[in-house]
Amino acid sequence: MLYFSTNKKSEKVNFREATIKGQAPDKGLYFPDVIPSLSKNFLDSIKTLTKAEIAFEVIHPYVGDCIEDDELYKICEHTVNFDFPLIPVSDNISALELFHGPTLAFKDVGARFMSRCLGHFSKDNSKKITVLVATSGDTGSAVANGFLGVEGVEVVILYPSGKVSKIQELQLTTLGQNIRALEVQGTFDDCQRMVKQAFTDKDLNNKLFLTSANSINVARWLPQQFYYFYALRQWPHKKPPVISVPSGNFGNICAGLMAAASGLPVKHFVAACNSNDVFTRYLQTAEFKNMEAVATISNAMDVGNPSNFVRILEIFAHQYEKIKGLISSYSIEDAETAATITRVFKQHKYILDPHGAVGYRCLEKYLEEHSSEKGFFLETAHPIKFSDVVEKAIGHPLHIPPAMHHLMELKKLSTVIKPEYDELKDFLMSTMSY
C-alpha cells in the first residue's frame, strides 16, 4: 500500500514513511492509494472473531509488509485490550462506549497503535523521533499515555491554556519522562497551526526527526476504524445502523467513512457538531469556509478548520452529492447540550459526557426525520473528564473511577508559551536537541 499527499505535490510513500513523516512535505495529508475491500466471509464471521483478529484484518492492507505479521498482530492485541460495549439508551438509540481504555477516551485506540508502530520503526533510526502534537483535549492525554516510556521517542504536546478540562490537563502534564507539555495562550487552532508550521520548517527538520500524533497521521487515524467493526459485532438489528459521530477535527468520522467504504454495513452517518459548524454549513451550501474556533462545553470539538475534511473529499472523489447522500450534519449549542445531558439522565438513567450529548441529540434529530431507522452514537469520553459540566446537568456528584484517583495528587508540569511559532521553535531547538 502506498500513500499520496492530498495536495498531490509530494512523492508517494509506504506506511512506514507516512507514519514517521506524519504530514507530507507539501503540507498535504497522506491518503491510501486504494481503499481496501473487506471480504464477505470476514464480515459474515465478525461475531466469532476476537477484537485483535478484527483489528489485524482491518489494518493489515494499510500496513502491508512494513511490519511483520506477527509483530502487527501483537500491536493490535495491545491496542484493543479493553472493552467497547454497545449500550442501549432508548428504544432506537444505543451508545458505543469508547472510554474504557487507560485515559478514558476513544483516542486511546489510535494513540496506542501509533506509539507501538513508531517504537517499532524507531529501532532503525540513529536519531530519536520527536512526536509533536496539538490537542483540544483527549488527544494529548491519550498520546501521553500511549507513548510514555517508549524507547527512542520524545513527545511534545501543545494544548490551549484554560480550554481543556482539569482531568484532561492533569493527564497530559503530570507524566514526565519522555513527555513534555506546552501550555499555549491561545486556541486549539493556534496549536494546530504552530504544529503544521513546524513540519514545514527546513531548519527545524534538519535538526530534529519530527512526526505528528494528531489524526493527520495515518497510524493515529486509520486504527479508529476498529471500533466501528466492534459495534457491528454487537448490533442486534437486521437493518444497518445510523451512526452519529461527535466531530471536531473529523478524524473519527473519517475513519468510520473509510470502514464503510471497505464494506462495513452503515445506513447513514451523522456528523454531530457543536457551535463550530463549518461542516454543517458545508452540507447546506456546498462551500467550505473555515472559521475562528468558538469555545464550548464540548471542548474537544472546538475546531474551526478541521484538517481531515480533505480526506473526506478523497473518500468521495470530491463529489459533493455523494458526500451529502451518506452524511447529514447538525449543530448543537451549549444550552441544548446541557439540556440533553439532563433529559437523558432523567429519562434513561444514562450519563452522557458533553461530546456524547452532542452525538445523541444530533442522532435524535436525524431519527425524528427517519422514524423507521435505529442507530448509535459514539460516547467518546468518560463523563468524569467533564465533571463540572455533567454534575451541574444531572444534579449530583459523579463517581470517580479508580484510575483517576492518583491524578489529583500529582503536580502539573507545563511550559507556558504564546501562540507564536517562534516560541515553539525556540523551545524545540533548545530542549529537544540530541
Residues marked as catalytic: 107
SS3 of residue 78 by DSSP? helix
Read out DSSP for 378-393?
EE-B-GGGGHHHHHHH
227, 255 contact by CB (below 8 A) = no
The sign of the CA dihedral 373, 378, 383, 388 is: negative
In terms of Cβ atoms closer than 10 Å to its own Cβ (0-12, 13-18, 19+), residue 43 is: middle
CA atoms of 217 and 76, how far apart (whole Å):
17
Strands annotated E in 103-197? 129-134, 153-160, 179-184
The label of the residue with cell 476498529 reads 226
Spell 225-253 as b/e; 16+ CB within 10 A means b: bbbbbbbbeebeeeebbbbbbbbbbbbbb
Angle CA 193–145–292, to nearest 5 = 25
Alpha-helix runs per DSSP H in 46-137: 51-63, 69-79, 107-122
- Which residues, at least 6 apart from 46, have a Cβ–Cβ distance to it below 8 Å? 54, 229, 232, 233
Of residues 127, 158, 92, the one with CA closest to residue 374: 92
Beta strands at 153-160 and 415-417: parallel, antiparallel or unpaired:
unpaired
DSSP code for 374: -
The sign of the CA dihedral 425, 428, 433, 434 is: negative
Strands annotated E in 237-388? 242-246, 268-273, 327-331, 375-379
Beta strands at 93-97 and 375-379: parallel, antiparallel or unpaired:
parallel
CA dist list (Å): 406 to 140, 175, 179, 400: 18, 12, 18, 11
